[in-house]
Structure formats: C-alpha cells, structure tokens
Amino acid sequence: MTVLTSRKPVRRNVNGTPPPGLAMRGAKGLILLIACALVVVPFLSVVSTSLADQQQITEAGGYVLWPERPNLDAYRAILAGGVVTRALFVSVGVTLVGTLLSLACTALLAYALSRPGSFAHKPLLMTVLFTLFFTPGIIPMYLLIRSLGLLDSYWSLILPVLVNAFQVLIMRAFFMEIPRELIDAARIDGAGELHILTRIVLPLSKAVLAVIGLFQAVAFWNAFFNAVLYINDTAKWPLQLVLRTYVVDNTSLGVDGTEIAGATLPASQSIQMAILVVSLVPIALVYPFLQRHFAKGLLIGAVKG
Amino acid sequence: MAAAVSDTRATAQAGAGPAAAPKPRARRRARLRRDRLLLLLAAPGIAVVLLFHYLPLAGNVIAFKDYQPYIGIVDSPWVGFANFSVIWNGDPEFLNALTNTLVISFVQVAFVFPIPIVLALMLNSLLSERLKRLVQSVLYLPHFMSWVVVVAIFQQMLGNAGLFNTFLRTHELGDFNILGNPDLFIPLITAQVIWKDAGWGTIIFLAALSRVDTELYEASAVDGASRMRQLWHVTLPSIRGVVVLLLILKLGDALTVGFEQIILQRDAVGADASEVLDTYVYYNGIIGGDWGVSAAVGLVKGLVGLILVYLANKFAHLLGESGVYQK
C-alpha cells in the first residue's frame, strides 16, 4: 500500500505508461542546467572582477570570469571610510530600525485583529484590507512627506512602508491558528492580554515572525525609489543609490572630498563590482534562513489560509 | 468558529454584571472596556495606515487645482478638469507613455507569465528531491536582489565592455549594442524580469502541485492515460485556480510596469522608448514641476487599476473560480 501511494512506482510500473524516456529526461536536465548557469555565471563574474587586478581586467577587455591574482584592494578602498562606507552605515541603520519597528507594528496590529468579535474588529480589518487595492500615487505621497517635513530625513525611508497589509494578514492568519483553548485557559488563570501576547502567542509564532522580519529586512535593504524621491542630500544616500551612481550610471559623487579613498573616478571596474558584492553580503547572510522556510512552505500556507 | 467562541465570551462577560439582558449600548461599552488594550495594540499600525495610505488620497485634490508649491494646496486656485486635458486630448507624451505601458504589460503577460509554470512542472517531475531543492535555491536567489543590482549585472553581462561583447570582440564578431538600443528596450527589460522573478514565481505553482492527490495519477494510469494525458487532466487542473488568481492580479496591475527598473535605464534609451505612466508622472511632476497634470494622470491610473481588479474578479467568478475576494 505504501508503495502504491508514493509517486515513483506509479510512473514506472503501471500498465501502458512508459517511464520518461532518456531524451525527455536529458532535455529537462539541460534546460534546468542552463537556467541555473544563467544565474550563477553573472554572480561568479561579479565576484571575480571585484577580486581581479587592473592588469587582468584591462587585458580581458572588461570583465573576468576567474581572478588570476586575487586581491582585496578594491574592498580596502571602498571600506576605508569614503562615500560607500557612509552609505553602508545608512543602509544598515535604516534596515535595522525599519525592520524592528515594522515587525513590532505588524505583530501588534495582527494580534489586535486576530479576535473576531472584539470591539470595532470589522472596520479596523477593512481599513487594513482596502489598502491592498489602491496605491496613493507618487505625487500625493511626495506632497505628504514634504508637508510632514520628512524630506531628507531617514524616517521618509521607514515610515511609509512600515505596515504592509499583506504581511499583517499573513501574521493574523497565523495567530488565528493558535488553539483557542490555550488562550482561554491562560485567561481563566488570570493572564492579561499582554501576558497572553508575550508568553503564548509570540513564542508560538517565532517562525512567522522570522520570515516576515527577514522579508521586511530585505525590502528595506533593497529599497531604492523612496530614497530617489525623498533624499536629496547625497550625504544621506543609502547604498542602493550610491550603487546606482557609481555602477549603473558610471559617474562619481563629488561630495566634500570624501571620494572613495584616493581612487580616480569613475571608479575602476573592480571597485564597482566590489560595491556590488558588498551590497549583496546581507542578502547572502539571510538567504539560508529564508530558504529553510520556503522548504516548509510556511509562507504559502499562510497566504492561502 | 473563532467568531462564535469570542462572541460567547463577549456575552458571558457583558452579561455577568446586571441580571437583566444588557442594552446594546451598554454592551458596546462593555466590549470597548474589555478590548481597550487590543485597540491600544492596534493603534500604532492603524495610525501608520491612516497617515501613509489614506491621508495621501486627499492630496489628489491637486489634480483639480493649479497647484503652486509656494501658495500651498489649500490656497491654489481650482481649475476643474483642466489638468485632465492631457488625457482627453491625447497629449503626445502622455499617449507615448500609455502605449509603452500597455505594450510592456502585454509582452510581460505573454512571455513572462508562462515561464514559472513550465519551470514548476519540470521541477515537480524531477526524480531526485535533493536536486530539486538545489535548483530551487539557485533560481530563487535573483528575486532577493534589488533592481539596481539586477541592472548592474545586466550591464556587466551585456554592456559594451561586458562579458558578451568582450567575447564577440575577441572572436572578431564585432560589437552588438544592446543596452543603448531603443528597439531592444522592451526585450531587455522583459529578460530582466524573467531573470529576476521567474524562479521565484514557481513557488506558488509548486505549492499547488504538491497538493495533488497522487492516487489520481495511479487511477488515471490504470485507466490507460499516457503521461501527456495525465499532465492535461490531472496536473494542470490542479494549478488552474492559482493561474486565474495571478492573472487577475496581473490585470489589476496592467498600468503599473517596473518603475524602479525603468527609471534606472531610461537615460540610456531615451523617453520615447522607455517612458511609462509612472515615470511620466514622476518626471513631469516631481522633476518638471507640472504637479496638477501629473496628479491627474496618477489619479486616473489608480482608478482604472481599481476598476480592472474589480472586472477581472467578476470575470473569475463567472468562470467559477474564487478570485482575489469572494462574492
């Protein structure tokens, strides 16, 4: 019986249906291999170029796939305290503060909305839900940020994206799955709302808090357009804007003599790629954790529920 | 179920005081008192939603005004629908942005949408679970890169000094200018969207595929179904709901195409080839100072998007699917 319910034997043995032919399997493997190569090769080239010396880059005519004489000069240059270093601090700060505040707001709101029948439950839920169906528009948003005096403030990168209705709904669905009996029992024992939240609900929801927190962190780290809109002062630019200026536009940022330590600009190829790699490091760090949760299908399950 | 439980709790607590059944008003007050802490917990989140999602909607009034930043929103003179004339009269720049938006949207539904489905079907029929995991983690990765990084990587691969052109030059095949070519702009940004999100897009289809009852495959095989027929009658129906859902979401977003992505590359090919509605609003309004007209275009775009979601959802109901929200 167990043999019958697993899929592999079905493909192979049942009358009439041939197992996938070798050609078919080969074609499938080849397509997936090419797809993976299209992702891996560019990253390899970026990392290699950042490590290569100028001589090899010049000889190769631009980019290299493997550094012959790898060195960390480019990294030393950008981390020596110039524009890139400062932008790195800005991005790290905005990401940390933003993620913590965002996670707190999302969790509290989701918890407050997880009790059907509570006071004003429906109107509050609708208030959050409706934001899924419209976006305020660029111009009104800009006018709001300006009239709040948030232009050129780091808060303009954090506050507008603090609450995402989708994430609130995911977390709410998760909180609602927690058995009522557990919460009712605690209440009978005299536990207050805060006690229930901090001692029962949140500890049981570590996984969903971790996933949503990581997604928020990645979004804060990668955010680009809000900074284009609201931050004019180049000294306050996050890393993505510096990356755009140096790498995509291939120009330099002439701010008060704090250029990339002594490098002639536009920055050399390896320096450009080193900036790119630095911007990828945090993503690479959290990716394994994110992945563990894809495997569980946690997020999708929550969305569907 | 949960609602029933908490309702009994509500009546139990509210009714615990006076012996007679409490009046609705008193009950409301009792509920307010009982839930005041919950409301307090909701307050910061609700405040942010009201301030940054609802309040900006009021800013749309400048679509009906001749907005002058130095006078302010309130004191700027009303001009009725004058700002909307670029839409009714078909201002060439606006029409260009509209056409580009629609073309890009259509191309992306046609060429981008099917790829995750095909990839998911392939991944789902791999023999080794470990290989599947490995391929998944490689293909999901680009989704977590910012658009700045994706564009930079494409420049590195396809730019004039990039890997591709370097290869052509060393083999004396000449240059092939891809990034600065307006005719290739749409294929380029489509390729970027595929590179970034096709892998990630498989996740939702794989989730749907994993819920297919394997007995269906056995039963159909016993009935003599070939592999193709199994695909058609068992596998594909299992993802139909998800496909409809995603197409609806896509349709609702038909007027929104890769804003960050396009703004990063607009200078290389010029506005004719790359301007879309969002970038039109940005460059005309915030850069160009034509606030009223930009707000009008943004407002119409938002309203049309809302109508599109509504219509698409109606259509899904007609097809017997549940769509984004239930009836």
Of B148, B161, B260, the CB nearest to A243: B148
Looking at the fold, whether A9 and A32 belong to one and the same domain comes out as yes
* CATH number of A137's domain: 1.10.3720.10
Give the end of a domain, one of A71, A98, A120.
Answer: A71
Q: Which of B137, B149, B278 comes nearest A291 by C-beta?
A: B137
Question: Is A176 at the interface with chain B, CB within 8 A?
Answer: yes
Residues 88-117 of B with CB under 8 A from A: none
- Residue A294: the pLDDT is 65
Tell me which of A26, A56, A71 is where a domain ends.
A71
* Interchain contact, A138 vs B281, CB within 8 Å: yes
Same-domain pairing of A12 and A90? no
What is the structure's pLDDT at B159?
82
Identify the pLDDT of residue A47: 92
pLDDT per residue over A68-111, tens digit each? 888 888 898 888 878 889 999 999 999 999 999 999 999 999 99
For residue A180, which residues of chain B lie inside 8 Å, CB to CB? 2, 5
Residues A94, A34 share a domain: no
Over range B165-177, report the average pLDDT.
Answer: 79
Whether residue A97 sits in one domain with residue A65: no
Contact, A201 vs A184, CB < 8 A?
no
Residues of A in contact with B196 (CB under 8 A): none
Whether residues A297 and B207 touch (CB distance < 8 A) is answered with yes
Task: Give the model's confidence band at B326: pLDDT under 50 very low, under 70 low, under 90 confident, else very high.
Answer: low
Is B324 strand, coil or helix? coil
Q: Residue B4: pLDDT above 60?
A: no
Q: What is the mean pLDDT of each run of 10 residues along chain A (305 residues)?
A: 44 43 82 94 91 81 80 86 89 97 96 88 91 86 94 95 92 89 88 87 89 92 93 92 86 52 57 92 88 60 40
What's the ipTM? Answer: 0.86
Number of domains in chain A: 2
- In this structure, the answer to whether residues A172 and A256 fall within a common structural domain is yes
Residue B146 has pLDDT above 90, yes or no: yes
In this structure, the answer to whether residues A82 and A193 fall within a common structural domain is yes
Q: Which residue has the higher pLDDT, A302 or B252?
A: B252
Contact A163 B49 (CB under 8 A): yes
Does the beta-carbon distance from A116 to B126 stay under 8 Å? no
Interface of A with B in 110-169 (CB under 8 A): 111-113, 115-120, 124, 127-128, 131, 133-144, 159-160, 162-163, 165, 168
- The closest CB to that of A243, out of B152, B169, B230, belongs to B152
pLDDT at B138: 93
- One domain, residues A128 and A50: no
* Contact with chain A for residue B53, Cβ under 8 A: yes
Mean pLDDT of B82-108: 91
CA distance B80 to A281: 52
Cβ contacts of B299 on chain A, cutoff 8 Å: 137
- Is the pLDDT at B312 greater than 90? The verdict is no
Residue with tokens 């005004």: B65
Q: Are A242 and A235 in contact (CB under 8 A)?
A: no
On whether any CB of chain B is under 8 Å from the CB of A4, the answer is yes
Specify whether A124 is located in the same domain as A175.
yes
Residue B147 is predicted with a pLDDT of: 95
Domains of chain B as residue ranges with CATH? 2-64 (no CATH), 82-318 (1.10.3720.10)
**What domain range is A179 assigned to?**
75-304
Contact A137 B298 (CB under 8 A): yes
| pLDDT band at residue B71 under the 50/70/90 scheme | confident
Reference A289, options A220, A204, A215; nearest CA is A215
Tokens for A39?
A: 């992702």
CA B138 to chain centre: 23
Q: At which of A27, A45, A71 does a domain end?
A: A71
B222 vs A225: CB contact, 8 Å cut-off?
no
Please tell me the predicted confidence (pLDDT) of residue B22. Answer: 61
Which pLDDT does position B160 carry in this prediction? 76
Question: How many angstroms separate the CA of residue B19 from the nearest CA in chain A?
Answer: 22
Q: Which residues of A touch B126 (CB under 8 A)?
A: 28, 32
CB neighbour list of residue A165: distance below 8 Å, 6 or more residues apart = A128, A129, A131, A132, B49
Q: Are A221 and A265 found together in one domain?
A: yes
Is residue B186 within 8 A of residue B258, CB to CB? The reply is: no
CA B52/CA A162 separation, integer angstroms: 9
Question: Do A201 and A115 lie in a common domain?
Answer: yes
pTM for the predicted model, two decimal places:
0.86
Residues A163 and A242 in one domain: yes
Please say whether the beta carbons of A191 and B17 come within 8 A: no
Q: In this prediction, what percent of chain B has a pLDDT beyond 90?
A: 35
pLDDT for residue B323 is more than 70: no
B125 contacts chain A (CB < 8 A): yes
Q: Please say if the pLDDT value at position B202 is more than 50.
A: yes
A239 shares its domain with A104? yes
Give the span between the Cα atoms of A115 and A121, in whole angstroms. Answer: 7
